[in-house]
A and B are shown apart, each in its own frame.
Chain A
Amino acid sequence: MRLSIPHMGNVYLPFRAVCQRLGIDYIVPPANSQRTLSLGSRYSPEGLCIPFKMTLGNMIEAAEMGANTLIVPGGYGICRLGYYTRVQEQVLHNLGYDIEVIQMGVSERKFFGMLDIIRRISNNAPWHRILSAFRFGLAKLNTIDQIERTVQKVRPVELVQGTANQLYTRAVHAVDNADDYDTLKGVRTDYLGQLNHVARNDHARPLIVGITGEFYVVLEPFSSFDIERELGKLGVEVRRATFISGWTKFSLFLNPFGINEKSRIHRAARPYLKRDIGGDGWESVGEKVLHAKEYDGLIHLAPFTCMPEIIAENIMPSTKEQIPVLTILCDEQIAKAGVLTRLEAFVDLLERKRRMRHDLQRVSV
């Protein structure tokens, strides 16, 4: 059996770690590229969103490399994503690949369902080995997310542009190669130290822009032309609440005990949107309301034809808490130049707004 999973940000790191520890034959699909997207859009039904097309592209590329088992997230109660597995499986079969698609529930039986799947694909490995491998995978995930958070802070203020990005790329490799806790810890302290010692521009006062929207496009840099890096180049500090490590921590372990990291966001959204509408629509509205004071602007990423985000996009302008929002719809038709122009214009607007606010303050003093 050769196992593979579609890409979503750095999610392949923990999976590779788990599979290595359990001796499962695992292949990482080729990094997301234009080919992935073209393959995916060619074989998808029209009108589906970019997460479907990208993951389908990954699946086809993995199948070409000989994978015969795929793990794909799915389940009830999360927009149409829960239904994707069935259609993708059919597409793959029609293309002539003999492949088994295992649906990993992300809405019900999350933790135990995941352990069950790991046990199944590892040929009934003993539970203690599964748990220890799982824990190690989580440690890798936490490390890389912690490094990414620091990178987000360093990018806009570094003197030599691109230093943080280089360090980040190297850190991903180092985390991927670390095969025990000590090495991993070493990698973490090493890279966090290096990042904190990057030469900084002391006069820089970066604008703060939040990134919110649909889970996949927020986490997968390819689908949004790596918007965080581009914002970093423009001297903007990016804040994002969605991290895979955060999702695993709460969704797998804390939500069953009634602790929900999002309840604050939901409370904020409630005057404008009363209930969960699937996907991340509720959270998008909530983040706008919650961070209106903190952030200078908000970038709302959504796949084209995403149902929950369209509702959110309709509701967002009507909130009392005002903050500039730029909605970027991602699909296979967007062009990088178009996105960059819009980002530059948006950042200019935010800067002018901030200057005006300062001038006003000075006048009142």
Chain B
Amino acid sequence: MTTVGIPRALLYYQYYPMWKTFFEHLGAKVVVSSPTTRKTLAEGAARVVADTCLPAKVFVGHTVSLVGNCDCIFIPVIRSLKSKTYNCSKFLGLPDMTRAVVPEAPPILEIEIDINRGKRRLYEDIYRLGRHFTWNPLRVREAAMAAWQTYREYRELMYRHQLTPPQAMEEITGELQTGLAMTPDTLRVPRTTIGLIGHTYLLYDEHINYQLIHRLQQYDATVVTPEMLPGYAIEASVNKLAGRAYWTYEEEVVGAGGYFLESGADGIIGIMAFGCGPDSLMMDMIHRQATRLKTTPFMCLTLEEHTSETGVITRLEAFMDMINRRKQRGEALCV
């Protein structure tokens, strides 16, 4: 039985249940690299040039840790999921870059998802991926349908039950995702609602964001992440803020940010990686909008491998203190 390795980085948080279903329907075994550690990051950072962004370094680190544990590694290339959108070069060059910097890696399974090339090409590409496991197009079709179904369930679960992707993944796959309980403590009454915006691979990788969600919950905050928001609302705020969507993963930042700014969240925290091309523009857009509206406090945390935990905690504490004080003052004013 072939073992397919999936690095626990980048798009993993968005699509893992889907990929797992697909490969298991085709009779393969799926292994995932273990959660990010200091070693993973160091390993990744040592292989690529210094200005590569943090998530890409983490990705390379995970790939290195998979070497020897699997027969092939699955690295998809996602160019566009909507017509006339485009993705960051790092996603487009990911398989080739991995091959170049991890020469000892097992063969890489690739698939290029580009909606702009039409449905037919998409189906052909899926079949070509399935061909590695079976010649039978019907089996590939069945696996793809099952995978799609899982993906829909996964999204539905996050939206209906307000779960974060790791929690939803636990529900669906039954694999324990993190060491930390993400569910809010029911005994405490949450005082504030914090909207988090940023890409999934930064929000849910506890090593690189220093357990941000957990920390926020300790401050008695309810954390709302982009995955928990209704799709139509996100789309509406993308259209309002940025006009036509340009980036493939724009909803997570511009859409969610615009939504939080108007839905009455107590504060918004944006997470971005240093040197992130799309985010440098999109976070700025949210920043500008927040400055214009002057209703919701906004803070942007930039992460890189030299970010210190203390720095993050200090800024977080200050931000939460400010929000709490603001709330108290607001309530006092109302009375």
Q: Indicate whether A225 reaches chain B with its CB closer than 8 angstroms.
A: no
**A277 contacts B52, C-beta separation under 8 Å:** no
Q: Tell me which of B88-96, B312-320, B322-330 binds A.
A: B88-96
Q: Which of B137-145, B262-270, B275-283 contacts A (4 or more CB under 8 A)?
A: B275-283
Asked if residues A77 and B280 are in contact (CB atoms below 8 Å), the reply is no
C-alpha gap A90/B77 in the complex (Å): 32
State whether A83 touches B96 (Cβ < 8 A).
no
Task: Mark A310-324 against chain B: 1 for CB-CB distance below 8 A, else 0.
Answer: 110111011000000
B51 pairs with A80, CB closer than 8 A: no
Provided the pairs A305-B280, A313-B49 are in contact, do residues A281 and B243 lie with their beta carbons within 8 angstroms? Answer: no
Cα of A142 to Cα of B96 in the assembled complex, Å: 37
> Judging by beta carbons under 8 Å apart, are B277 and A80 in contact?
yes
Neighbouring B residues of A279 by C-beta, 8 Å: 89
Mark the stretch among B97-105, B158-166, B171-179, B187-195 that contacts chain A.
B97-105
Q: Which of A29-37, A44-52, A145-153 contacts B (4 or more CB under 8 A)?
A: A44-52
Nearest B residue to A49 by beta-carbon distance? B277
Binary per-residue interface labels of chain A (79-122) against chain B in the complex, 1 for a CB within 8 Å, 0 otherwise: 11011101100100010000000000000000000000000000
A274 to B92, CA, bound (A): 9
Q: Are A308 and B89 in contact (CB under 8 A)?
A: yes
**Distance A290 CA – B302 CA, assembled complex (angstroms):** 39
B100→A329 contact, CB < 8 A: no
Among B77, B85, B277, which residue has the most Cβ atoms of chain A within 10 A?
A: B277
Least CB distance, B93 to chain A, in whole angstroms? 4
Judge if A278 is at the interface, Cβ distance under 8 Å.
Answer: yes
B246 touches A310 (CB 8 A): no
Q: Which B residues touch A87, using CB under 8 A?
A: 281, 284-285
Residue from the set B89, B100, B278 with the largest chain A CB neighbour count within 10 Å? B89
Q: How far is the CB of A198 from chain B (nearest CB, A)?
A: 40
CB-nearest residue of chain B to A81: B277
Asked if A276 is at the interface of the complex by the 8 Å CB criterion, the answer is: yes
Of the candidates A45, A82, A277, A315, which one forms a contact with B100 in the assembled complex, judged by CB atoms under 8 Å apart?
Answer: A315
Is the pair A276, B92 in contact by a Cβ cutoff of 8 Å?
yes
Residue numbers in A under 8 Å from B219 (CB-CB): none
Encode A284-317 as 1/0 by CB contact (under 8 A) with B: 0000000000000000000011111011011101
A275 at interface, CB cutoff 8 A: yes
Contacts of B88 in A (CB 8 A): 307
Determine if A80 and B96 form an interchain contact, defined as CB atoms under 8 angstroms apart.
no
Interface of chain A residues 119 through 154 with chain B (CB within 8 A): none
* Residues 29-75 (chain B) with a chain A CB within 8 angstroms: 48-49, 51-53
Minimum CB–CB distance from B294 to chain A (whole Å) comes to 14
* In the complex with contacts A79-B89, A281-B93, A272-B100 CB distance below 8 A: yes
Task: Kindly state the separation between the CA atoms of A310 and B243 in the bound complex, as whole angstroms.
Answer: 29
Asked if A273 is an interface residue, CB under 8 A from chain B, the answer is yes
- Interface bin, chain B: 35 or more
CB <8 Å contact, B52 and A314: yes
What is the chain B residue whose CB lies nearest that of A306?
Answer: B277
What range describes how many residues of A lie at the interface?
35 or more
- Min CB–CB distance B114 → chain A (angstroms): 9
Structural contact, A329 and B246, CB atoms closer than 8 A:
no
Q: With a CB–CB cut-off of 8 A, which chain B residues contact A314?
A: 48-49, 52, 97, 100-101
Instruction: Collect the chain A residues with CB atoms within 8 Å of residue B277's CB.
Output: 79-80, 305-307
A181 in the interface (beta carbon within 8 A): no
Q: How far is the CB of B155 from chain A (nearest CB, A)?
A: 26
A120 to B289, CA, bound (A): 31
Which residues of B are found within 8 Å of A308, using beta-carbon distances?
89, 93
User: Does A277 contact B48, Cβ atoms closer than 8 Å?
Assistant: no
Q: How far is the CB of B156 from chain A (nearest CB, A)?
A: 31
State in angstroms the CA–CA spacing of A281 and B97 once bound together: 12
Residue A76 at the chain B interface, CB threshold 8 Å: yes
Instruction: Give, as a whole number of angstroms, the nearest-CB distance from B187 to chain A.
Output: 41
B240 proximal to A (CB < 8 A)? no
Judged by a CB distance under 8 angstroms, whether B84 is at the interface is: yes
B242 at interface by CB-CB < 8 Å: yes
Q: Is the CB of A305 within 8 A of B275?
A: yes
Q: B153 — which chain A residues lie within 8 A by C-beta? A: none
Kindly provide the distance from the CB of B58 to the nearest chain A CB, expressed in whole angstroms. 15
Known: A47-B276, A275-B92. A311 touches B97 (CB 8 A): yes
Shortest distance between the CB of A78 and any CB in chain B (Å): 8
**CB proximity of A180 to chain B, nearest CB, Å:** 42
Q: Is B204 an interface residue (CB 8 A)?
A: no
- Chain B nearest CB from A35 CB (Å) reads 23
> Cβ of A307 and Cβ of B90 under 8 Å apart?
yes
Q: Is the CB of A274 within 8 A of B96?
A: yes
Contact across chains for A80 and B281 when beta carbons are under 8 A apart: yes
The closest CB in chain B to the CB of A270 belongs to B96
Contact B92–A48 (Cβ < 8 Å): no
Chain A residue numbers with a CB within 8 Å of B77 are 275
In addition to A83-B247, A314-B52, 9 A-B residue pairs with Cβ atoms within 8 Å of each other are A47-B274, A76-B84, A80-B281, A90-B288, A274-B110, A304-B51, A307-B88, A311-B90, A329-B51
28 A-B pairs with CB atoms under 8 Å apart are A45-B280, A45-B281, A45-B287, A47-B276, A48-B280, A77-B86, A80-B278, A87-B284, A90-B288, A272-B96, A273-B93, A273-B96, A276-B92, A278-B86, A304-B51, A306-B277, A310-B49, A310-B90, A311-B89, A311-B92, A311-B97, A313-B49, A314-B49, A315-B93, A318-B100, A318-B103, A327-B49, A329-B51
Q: What 3 A-B pairs come out closest when comparing CB atoms?
A: A45-B284, A47-B280, A311-B93
Mark A residues whose CB is within 8 Å of B. Answer: 45-48, 76-77, 79-80, 82-84, 86-87, 90, 94, 272-279, 281, 304-308, 310-311, 313-315, 317-318, 327, 329
